[in-house]
């Protein structure tokens, strides 16, 4: 039955059995957080209710997608800015026929995506699962972050690469 609903992607522990009702509710909270005309602090609160670990004074713009299946795999620390249409993924699921090649979900359990304090994620940027964006790092618009970003750096491009380094004295 689940395979007919979900296809060949394995179902996460967060959506198995009766937990599917809670997951369904969390997805509606996600829809509200993404599209409703809300203050950024309210968006952050809705993501907290979904299970995303969100710090204080976090700005989350409109149409920001934060992992839908395993929201608890994402941490956003204090003073982070996430501009509109950004995607932050915290987990990966692959079709079963790729498990020997890419590993199954149990091998990737515990994977976390962390956006450290003061980081800035530009318009339409994408942060892939398991990546840490360092303190006060800047991710340029449209960038795809495939590996950890060091603190106090600016990354741009696909895949994102460091184009500038700066220090704590440069941040006001």
Q: What is the CATH number of the domain that holds 17?
A: 2.160.10.10
The answer to whether residue 159 is domain-embedded is: yes
pLDDT at 26: 84
Q: For residue 8, what pLDDT band results from cuts at 50, 70 and 90?
A: low
Q: For residue 2, what pLDDT band results from cuts at 50, 70 and 90?
A: low
Q: Whole-model pTM? A: 0.84
The answer to whether residue 138 is domain-embedded is: yes
pLDDT at 15: 55
Residue 141 makes CB contacts below 8 A (sequence gap 6+) with 83, 122, 123, 124, 125
Residue 137 has pLDDT above 90, yes or no: yes
pLDDT at 164: 97
Residue 72 has pLDDT above 70, yes or no: yes
Instruction: Quote the tokens at residue 23.
Output: 């997951």
Residue 28 has pLDDT above 60, yes or no: yes
Domain region containing 72: 2-166
The answer to whether residue 171 is domain-embedded is: no
Residue 85 makes CB contacts below 8 A (sequence gap 6+) with 61, 62, 63, 64, 123, 124
Which residue would you say has higher pLDDT here, 5 or 30? 30
The answer to whether residue 172 is domain-embedded is: no
The answer to whether residue 102 is domain-embedded is: yes
Question: How many domains, the chain?
Answer: 1
Report H helices in 7-142: 19-35, 40-50, 99-102
Residue 116 has pLDDT above 60, yes or no: yes
**Torsion sign (Cα): 145, 119, 68, 100:** positive
Mean pLDDT of 17-23: 62
The answer to whether residue 52 is domain-embedded is: yes
Residue 118 has pLDDT above 90, yes or no: yes
């Amino acid at each position: 039955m689940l395979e007919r609903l979900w296809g060949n992607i394995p179902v996460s522990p967060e959506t198995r059995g009766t937990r599917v009702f809670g997951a369904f509710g969390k997805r509606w909270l996600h829809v509200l957080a993404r599209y409703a005309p809300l203050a950024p602090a309210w968006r952050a609160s809705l993501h907290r209710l979904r299970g995303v670990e969100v710090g204080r004074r976090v700005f989350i713009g409109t149409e920001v997608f934060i992992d839908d299946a395993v929201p608890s795999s994402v941490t956003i620390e204090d003073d982070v800015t996430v501009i509109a249409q950004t995607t932050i993924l915290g987990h990966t699921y692959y079709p079963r026929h790729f498990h020997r090649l890419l590993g199954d979900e149990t091998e990737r359990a515990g994977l976390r995506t962390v956006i450290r304090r003061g980081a800035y994620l530009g318009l339409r940027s994408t942060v892939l699962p398991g990546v840490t964006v360092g303190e006060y790092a800047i991710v340029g618009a449209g960038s795809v972050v495939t590996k950890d970003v060091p603190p106090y750096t600016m990354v741009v491009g696909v895949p994102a690469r460091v184009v500038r380094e700066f220090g704590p004295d440069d941040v006001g």
